Structure 1
Amino acid sequence: MFEFLEDYRDMVIDAPNMEGVVLTCRLRDGLTDMEIPIDAPLQARGLWQRTSGGVLMRDLQFGICGLTLNDPDEATKVSRHRAQVGYDVTESDWVVGEFTGDTDMLIVDDNDKVLISAGSYSRENWYLFTSLEDVLKKYIESDAEKYWEINE
């Protein structure tokens, strides 16, 4: 799982649709099974075996796009914090990523479903996916564009 991320461990890409914008990828090494919490959902576990987090397709100069992937500790801290400040996140959610430039989150819930929050909107308005791997692949293929928002 998530083998494709190896190609994005440490690289810089010129954003094809945004003149002068450079997308940076800096992914840390993966974790061992012993370093990943036992209660982590299967898809989050697969991601963390490949990378313990970092930036993926992030514009570091202007901060207009990108995704920061969280390690397990960060994922649970962000979940708790966002729940405390009123976001429709539960403490059993794992915020595996946070999008640059807004409050959108990439979440794997305790049922191993993948969600992308839509700002501060309620959970029923969030985007639902079956595969975290597919979400990340398509995000890379779309050059950090939020492809799920296109043609709404």
Structure 2
Amino acid sequence: MIGVAQRVLEARVVVDGQVIGQIQKGLLLLLCAEQGDTVANADKMLSKLLKLRIFSDENGKMNRSLQDLDGQGLQGGLLVVSQFTLAADVSGGNRPSFTRAASPADGQRLYDYFVAQAREAHPIVQTGQFAADMKVHLINDGPVTIPIQM
């Protein structure tokens, strides 16, 4: 499972001109299931993501996680967007190959599982739409962008 976590001041996903998911301060996660991934990969990804210390503490040091923001009187949001293109292989030519990506059925099953688990673990979870043509708007904070592979 591949993820790209971006610390954001705000982010939203638009499908067919309509905002379908939106957060203020928090994390935007671009998420891709690969062939062979299981719910164990999704569980590890979520655990890592929620505990990843990439938010500033009172001294300006990246020492707070998404879960820690509640202790600062803030509620950080999590916006999860499926993006199978993270599994692209460009080693063989100029056209990306996506053979490492999970099948659409497996990808959706793992994405839905990840989102359900995230909603149980965190108070603010928004999503994109699996396999849709989405427009993702964000204000990257820092910028802080962390690739994660589980």
Under a length normalisation based on structure 1, what TM-score does the superposition of the two structures give?
0.24
Structure with more contact order per residue of length (Cα contacts < 8 Å, sep ≥ 6): 2
Higher Rg: 2
Greater fraction strand: 2
Under a length normalisation based on structure 2, what TM-score does the superposition of the two structures give?
0.25
